[in-house]
Amino acid sequence: MPEPIRTILAKHSREPDELIPVLQDVQKEYGYISAESVRGISKYLRISENTIYGVSSFYAQFRFTEPGRHSVKVCLGTACHVRGGATLLEMLERGLGIHCGETTEDKRFGLDRVACLGCCALSPVVQIDKEIYSRVTVNKLTEQLKEYE
Amino acid sequence: MTREKKLKVTIDSRELEVRPNTTILQAARESDVYIPSLCTLEHLPSYGACRLCIVEVDGLRGYPTSCTTPIEEGMVIRTDTTELRSLRQEILKLLLSEHPASCLFCEEHDECKEFQGTIRKVGVTTGCRYCPNDARCELQEITEKVGLTETSYPVYYRGFSVEKYDPFYDRDYNLCILCGRCVRVCNSVRLNGTLSFKQRGKLTTIGPAFDRTHLEAGCEFCGACVSVCPTGALSAKVSKWYGKPDTQVTTTCVYCPVGCRLELQVKNNEVIDVLPNYDSPIDRGLICVKGRFAIPEYVLSPERLGTPSRLTPVGYEVISWDQAIDEAAKRLRGTKPEDKLVMVSPQLSNEDLFVAQQFTREVLGSDAVISSMMIDLGDDLVPFLELVTSSSTFDTIEDARGVLAVGFDSTYGYSPVGIRIKKAGREGALLVTLGACDSNLDMLSETAFQMEPPQWAEFLGSLVDYLARGGKGKVKIRKEWTSDIERISRIFSDSSTNILVIGQEAIFSSGRREIFEKARTLRDKLGWKIIVAHPYTNLLGMLAMGAFPGAKPGEFLKNGDAVTVDLPVIDLAKRKKVVYLIGEGRFDTIPDCDYLIYQNGLPPVASRQPDLILPASLFTESSGTTTNGEGRVLKIEKATEPFMDAKPDWWIFNRIAEKLNKGKLKYKDVAAVQAAIKKQVKGFYGGRKPVEFARINAERATKWLRGAPKQEGQSSGAGNNPSYRGIPLARVVAGMKAIDEWVNTSLLSDKEAQ
Ligand code: SF4
Ligand code: SF4
Ligand code: FES
């Protein structure tokens, strides 16, 4: 077990109730929950790896792949959804060759969906790292992505 | 127990008295009131997912689900109002909007059910590709009961690809209704945790972590999830296209000494599937992969021996039973007793073993009836038997406050014992495991010690010494173990009941002699209970029946004195004239011989060709009894006719004896054999209580075995390789082979990782 996981676990008791807090700590430390972390947590809390995965995949806050150098978040809030957010996401999935929640093999992009970024007037909205792109189209987005290395 | 006060309630205007501490649904069922339900199931915790079981209760808002609402005094409940009916129909429609449903609403439905036993009722375009249509679908039943005849929603096809890459069962999650029964049975009944809900909302699926296969995720292939699935989403590979079985036969599994009760599903004189029996007090329905999935493929193997045959210079010649009996008699006649050797498998029935020893003694005039099991154990045999005959019942685990499991893993066997241990651990007993690598008990253990098998005896020794001295005085303990041993010893010595479970890896480890000795000390000095989880199914029957050199029928049973086992010296290096194997399929343990008689269901695993092959029936094909590891005598029931011309073992002995003109063996049927056993082994068929065995004098363990093949310390014999009548299950059962390969590769990668 890598040291940081050990330290994280040591801060919690071995009660099953500690699962979510532990997961949050791990996510904070690594940015994602790796198979190795799940194994470590499983042994410590005596919960099966499969259950841990099941529980954590229920919450959008946890991800299971290493984040990319750049995070691409497609808004699927009501307004964005209506104005083509879902299509954008699908195009991105195809273009990058990954599913939502995953990271490209070269670790360049990680793709996620968010519920609402709070700027519905600009919909559909995509956030790349800290930058918000409004009224996005597939073409515009493809151009934008080229600027991120 | 104080009698529970009944509650007075009103269900559908009927005044009823019901048990307290149940749910409305349970109470209704017990009073014969039908409430539709899908997700709830006996033995499983309620979950409230399908919402079909809604009812109206005076004073409660809305429509509570009866499976999750506790019954209370004075409740007024309605289960069948117009609103409820239409609500249920609506709920079911929604549920079916994600499940291919053309078979449910087809106009030809009734005719189809009666006359057309087709595999697939409807075109594959409707998504019904992998539904086994085996009359077990509860959706079909519920749709009828709820009275739904059409649906107004379009069906949403989820388009998952069918998961067929794991052994034994397929998964078509397009048919899944997310009732969660499989998740609950896997987690709360099997205490395994392979399955869980993943994601949420529309994306919800069921399965293990990270898209792992079930094999990778630690699935036991117990099939519990398959049995409880109300749809065709989970289905057994071997049996899925057979349709509905004709009959069900309750019998006992002979693959290991647990002796699980099984429900054989029989169709057209073939065992097509096997289901657990949840009412069995021995295993509680917690059977393992072998009983659940490895029987049909074995007994229906295309390799089955169906006719007697003899070896000629140009290959095997099929002969009649008369010729075969003549041949066997000719070879056995006239040879001196010491030139003959009879070897029996401990997986034969009590009756077959009884006749085998009688045949050897009275007909062949020899005492040499042995078993490759004895050779596996070699000179450690007597101490081993001493422990085995005093093994505790499986129920003792339930009251245990401390369990120490050495070299034990119940993933693919001994699951009724393994799950009891896990349960004890979960309910607060101290559970400690000692093994070479991860075991499936580790998840619930307080501490899992990992070390190479040669160190187990030493570790155990330190623990025993420490416990024996109550922490006082000086005990020599390795530094790295000291604090752990001190800690667990304290808990063990505070606990009222402790159990040591000796697993197969320990039985086949090089330090087993010492492990057995330590176990004896724990039992005799410290009052521990011992369970030996060995692979030799009817070993106790073998002893009781006297199918053992130097021990007549009944000698091993308790009647006062301890017995001293005086084994005659057996020299395997000395060539024999005739060796007669009954249910023994491994030839690495048998001495060289001029003539080899092979009586079994499948061809042997060896290069030496038997001279005479006598096809024997298997445990699904003839009746009898077997003795489980606790000493319980359990019934084996005949479910089908024997394969082709195969015969029961006792019948074959009988015929050869007749030919040799030795009077005694004249059994008409199994009942006659049992009558003879009753006379010689008093109290054997006594009833529900386990048969008790005499104390065996373990101090006087002699060196009885000479010229035995060198064993590689560890994985010898049946140890890691479950077999039936000497044939590894992995050889004939595809899924067992897949498991075998997986276990071997993961062991390898574990080793590399270390
Ligand atoms: S076969 Fe048994 S262990 Fe495997 S997923 Fe199903 S219930 Fe769980
Ligand atoms: S645990 Fe033993 S007796 Fe039970 S099903 Fe498995 S092999 Fe058969
Ligand atoms: S049976 Fe009650 S909600 Fe499914």
Question: Residue B330 is part of a domain; what is its CATH number?
Answer: 3.40.50.740
pLDDT digits (tens, 9 = 90+) for B605-662: 877 899 999 999 999 999 999 999 999 999 999 999 999 999 999 999 999 999 987 6
**Cβ(B221) – ligand 1 distance below 6 Å:** yes
Nearest alpha carbon to residue B255 among B424, B478, B414: B414
User: Which residues in B473-553 belong to E strands, given as ranges?
Assistant: 498-502, 529-532
Contacts 24+ apart (CB under 8 A), B63-70: B63/B87, B64/B24, B66/B23, B66/B24, B66/B25, B66/B28, B66/B35, B66/B37, B67/B23, B67/B24, B67/B25, B67/B37, B67/B39, B67/B40, B68/B23, B69/B23, B69/B24, B70/B21, B70/B22, B70/B23, B70/B24
**B114 or B329: whose pLDDT is higher?**
B329
**Cβ(B29) – ligand 3 distance below 6 Å:** no
**Closest-CA residue of chain B to A45:** B443
Topology annotation, domain A70-146: Glutaredoxin (3.40.30)
Query: In this complex, do B196 and A50 lie within 8 Å of one another by their Cβ atoms?
Result: yes
Alpha carbon distance B555, B560 (integer Å): 11
End position of a domain, from candidates B299, B326, B360: B299
Clarify whether residues B335 and B412 are in a common domain. no
User: Which residues in B543-588 belong to E strands, given as ranges?
Assistant: 570-571, 576-582
pLDDT band (50, 70, 90) for residue B296: very high
Where along chain A do its domains lie?
3-58, 70-146
- Across chain B, what does the average pLDDT equal? 90
**B475 or B675: whose pLDDT is higher?**
B675
From ligand 1's centre to the CA of B185, what distance in Å? 8
Output the domain CATH number for residue B61: 3.10.20.740
How far is the alpha carbon of B177 from chain A, nearest alpha carbon, in Å?
17
B16, pLDDT greater than 90: yes
**Closest-CA residue of chain A to B205:** A54
Nearest alpha carbon to residue B497 among B522, B463, B468: B522
Whether B1 is in a domain gets the answer no
Task: At B696, give phi and psi (nearest 5°).
Answer: -100, 135
pLDDT digits (tens, 9 = 90+) for B266-280: 999 999 999 999 999
Clarify whether residues B465 and B560 are in a common domain. no
B717, pLDDT greater than 50: no
* Helix locations, B99-153, DSSP H: 102-105, 109-115, 138-146
pLDDT band (50, 70, 90) for residue B718: very low
Half-sphere exposure of A66 (CA within 13 A, CB side): 8
Query: In this complex, do B210 and A43 lie within 8 Å of one another by their Cβ atoms?
Result: no
pLDDT band (50, 70, 90) for residue B713: very low
Mean pLDDT, residues B159-169: 92
Residue A122 amino acid letter = L
pLDDT for A114 equals 85
pLDDT for B457 equals 92
B714, pLDDT greater than 70: no
pLDDT band (50, 70, 90) for residue A141: confident
Whether B96 is in a domain gets the answer no
Task: With H, G, I as helix, E, B as strand and everything else as coil, classify residue B532.
Answer: strand
User: Which residues in B533-617 belong to E strands, given as ranges?
Assistant: 570-571, 576-582, 593-600, 612-615
B107-116, B274-283, B375-384, B628-637: least confident range: B107-116
Clarify whether residues B467 and B508 are in a common domain. yes
Clarify whether residues B332 and B429 are in a common domain. no
Mean pLDDT, residues B323-350: 94
Which domain, by its residues, includes B22? 7-80
Query: In this complex, do B193 and A48 lie within 8 Å of one another by their Cβ atoms?
Result: yes
Clarify whether residues B356 and B425 are in a common domain. no
Alpha carbon distance B506, B512 (integer Å): 6
Query: In this complex, do A54 and B196 lie within 8 Å of one another by their Cβ atoms?
Result: yes
**Cβ(B415) – ligand 1 distance below 6 Å:** no
**Cβ(B28) – ligand 3 distance below 6 Å:** no
**Cβ(B255) – ligand 2 distance below 6 Å:** yes
Q: Give the atom of ligand 3 at the shortest distance from the alpha carbon of B68.
A: 2
Whether B522 is in a domain gets the answer yes
**Cβ(B411) – ligand 1 distance below 6 Å:** no
Pick from A46, A49, A53: CB nearest B198: A53
Clarify whether residues B583 and B521 are in a common domain. no
Residues 44-63 of chain A whose Cβ lies under 8 A from any Cβ of chain B: 46-55, 57-58
Task: At B11, give phi and psi (nearest 5°).
Answer: -120, 120
- Across chain A, what does the average pLDDT equal? 89
Clarify whether residues B596 and B703 are in a common domain. yes
Alpha carbon distance B278, B483 (integer Å): 43
Query: In this complex, do A51 and B443 lie within 8 Å of one another by their Cβ atoms?
Result: no
Which chain A residues are closer than 8 Å to B208 by Cβ?
49-50, 53
How far is the alpha carbon of B419 from chain A, nearest alpha carbon, in Å?
15
Which chain B residues are closer than 8 Å to A52 by Cβ?
209
Residues 430-459 of chain B whose Cβ lies under 8 A from any Cβ of chain A: 442-444
**Closest-CA residue of chain B to A43:** B443
Mean pLDDT, residues B200-222: 92
End position of a domain, from candidates B57, B80, B103: B80
Residue B521 amino acid letter = T
Clarify whether residues B261 and B363 are in a common domain. no
Q: Give the atom of ligand 2 at the shortest distance from the alpha carbon of B288.
A: 6
- Stated as kind and residue range, the H or E segment containing B626 is strand B624-627
From ligand 3's centre to the CA of B540, what distance in Å? 46
Clarify whether residues B560 and B698 are in a common domain. yes
Neighbouring CB atoms inside 10 A of B519's CB total 26
pLDDT for B1 equals 46
Clarify whether residues B677 and B742 are in a common domain. no
Clarify whether residues B568 and B717 are in a common domain. yes
Alpha carbon distance B8, B592 (integer Å): 77
pLDDT digits (tens, 9 = 90+) for B453-466: 999 999 999 999 88
Say what percent of chain B tops pLDDT 70: 94
A98 touches chain B (CB under 8 A): no
* Helix locations, B9-137, DSSP H: 24-30, 82-96, 102-105, 109-115
How far is the alpha carbon of B719 from chain A, nearest alpha carbon, in Å?
27
Which chain A residues are closer than 8 Å to B444 by Cβ?
46
How many interface pairs between A and B have CB atoms less than 8 angstroms apart?
Answer: 54
A21, pLDDT greater than 80: yes
Which chain A residues are closer than 8 Å to B217 by Cβ?
49-50
User: Ligand 2 atom 2: the closest Cα is on which residue?
Assistant: B256
Judge if ipTM > 0.90: no
Q: Give the atom of ligand 1 at the shortest distance from the alpha carbon of B289.
A: 1
End position of a domain, from candidates B262, B279, B299: B299
Query: In this complex, do B194 and A50 lie within 8 Å of one another by their Cβ atoms?
Result: yes
Neighbouring CB atoms inside 10 A of B550's CB total 16
Clarify whether residues B221 and B364 are in a common domain. no
Query: In this complex, do B443 and A48 lie within 8 Å of one another by their Cβ atoms?
Result: yes
The count of structural domains within chain B is: 5
Alpha carbon distance B510, B491 (integer Å): 29
End-to-end CA distance of chain A: 32
Alpha carbon distance A25, A28 (integer Å): 5
What is the number of the ligand closest to the CA of B187? 1
Chain A interface, best mutation among B184, B196, B443, B749, by max A CB count within 10 A? B196
Which chain B residues are closer than 8 Å to A43 by Cβ?
442-443
